[in-house]
Structure 1
């Protein structure tokens, strides 16, 4: 398959999909290496396609909703509650990032938009498969949250403030 056709097909799959698609899944589907898929995604991003890379794969954010960055503080036992608070109100946790004194900004895409997504994330934390970035900054961290409207972002902010997670 020629590259142009593969790029069209990848965009079609991303438009139709509601869940992230892994690079390995795409590589297997097109019988190319995962590195070729990484290059294809980079090219599509450079052509202004709103593709987000997450720990679960690639997802097309179309159309983009309203976004807001929240600075939060809580302990490790409160991670699940914080994330459930956001997704239950209709938000999507796009990423988590910290501002490290030495390394600067460290950001990881999350793409958590449902209770199931949060459940899976929390299970992986408990298994030790991943470690929260907040450990590097005394539990302070930021989330980019996306929601369909400013009203939902306001509700999320109020709920996080009520639980004393906002800084």
Structure 2
């Protein structure tokens, strides 16, 4: 934190909300902390308070995102996949190469039930960033909890894009029901 004045309480939360709404893309917590001259942990708390007030903020692997109303012509499908952790990048690239946004990934854990992580990945750069983040933090993919079986919620502006993406996953042998 610098010598600048800390932005306090409700004023800071309103500034965070404004930044997230204006940005339209994910913003890292560290960047929000720098812009408001507080710690990253304070930002985590502020985001929790904003979510408790029903602000549509989600945490993605790329940062915090304010969820504006989605366009009315968005199609969505859930697809069951299976593959090794090493094939994750290939799977995600197949999806984004077909004009699909990977909204999330989920697994059914035997103890915790459904576990879902928001992804919001829409292009190869975001795929690369996601895989690099998992690798650099020595984190595990959720599919490692379930022997490779997982679900993705995918969206596209066109039903054909969804169908073509699912067919491409099937051709590669990544569909769990095949």
The TM tier, using the shorter chain, reads 0.7 to 0.9
Query: Partners of 1:129 and 1:101 in 2: how far apart?
Result: 23
Q: Could you say what the CA RMSD is over the residues aligned between the two structures, in angstroms? A: 2.4
5+ residue gaps, structure 1, are: none
Q: Which runs of structure 2 are paired with 1:26-41 in the superposition (5 Å)?
A: 26-41=32-47
- SS class of match (1:39): helix
Aligned to 2:55: 49
Residue in 2 that maps onto 1:140? 149
Residue 100 of structure 1 corresponds to: 109
Shift of 1:126: 4.7
Q: Which has the larger radius of gyration?
A: 2
Deviations, residues 44-73 of structure 1 (Å, cap 9, x unaligned): 333443221013310123232443222111
The answer for the alignment partner of 2:172 in structure 1 is: 163
* Residue 81 (str. 1) matches residue 90 (str. 2): yes
With 75-84 and 37-46 compared, the bigger mean Cα shift is at 37-46
When residues 56 and 68 of structure 1 are mapped into structure 2, their CA distance, relative to the original with a 3 A threshold, is: same
Give 1:143-154 correspondences, 5 Å limit: 143-154=152-163
2:11 and 2:156 mapped to 1: Cα distance? 33
Q: Unpaired runs of 5+ in structure 2? A: 1-6
Equivalenced residue count is: 167
